[in-house]
Amino acid sequence: GQQLNQSPQSMFIQEGEDVSMNCTSSSIFNTWLWYKQEPGEGPVLLIALYKAGELTSNGRLTAQFGITRKDSFLNISASIPSDVGIYFCAGQLLGAQKLVFGQGTRLTINP
């Protein structure tokens, strides 16, 4: 099946630092989504991207839909303790309804 390669797998940063993570695939995706999951909970949508080249922000979060439609990145600026969690990219192939998920990036913040 389609694979999304998400990196890095984990990040250990200091509070206040910026964070960057990305997802790549050999397949072309119609939609890219970024979710955050906290312990014991389900994924919560952060940002949805619908067009190649699209750059969208949600507060301190910024995500981009790659021009080739095979990648996406998520940036978090000025990290704070509540940013801790696992971040997942997810992609939707053209004509498909289901989402394919990356392996996740686990973010840990040292105060």
The contact set with another protein (CB under 8 A) reads 1, 6, 30-31, 33, 35, 40-45, 48, 50, 88, 90, 92, 94-104
- Using the minimum distance from each CB to another protein, give the nearer residue, 80 or 96: 96
For the bound state, the minimum distance from the C-beta of residue 81 to another protein, rounded and expressed in Å, comes to: 22
- Using the minimum distance from each CB to another protein, give the nearer residue, 91 or 109: 91
For the bound state, the minimum distance from the C-beta of residue 99 to another protein, rounded and expressed in Å, comes to: 6
Distance, CA of 27 to CA of 107 (rounded, Å): 26
Nearest to 24 by CA among 49, 10, 4, 51: 4
37 near 44, Cβ under 8 Å? yes
Structure tokens at 88: 């997942």
Could you give the C-alpha distances from 29 to 10, 43, 61, 63, 73, in angstroms and in order? 24, 20, 21, 15, 14
For the bound state, the minimum distance from the C-beta of residue 1 to another protein, rounded and expressed in Å, comes to: 8
- Using the minimum distance from each CB to another protein, give the nearer residue, 48 or 84: 48
For the bound state, the minimum distance from the C-beta of residue 58 to another protein, rounded and expressed in Å, comes to: 13
**Helix, strand, coil share of the chain (percent; to 5):** 5, 55, 40
- Using the minimum distance from each CB to another protein, give the nearer residue, 80 or 94: 94
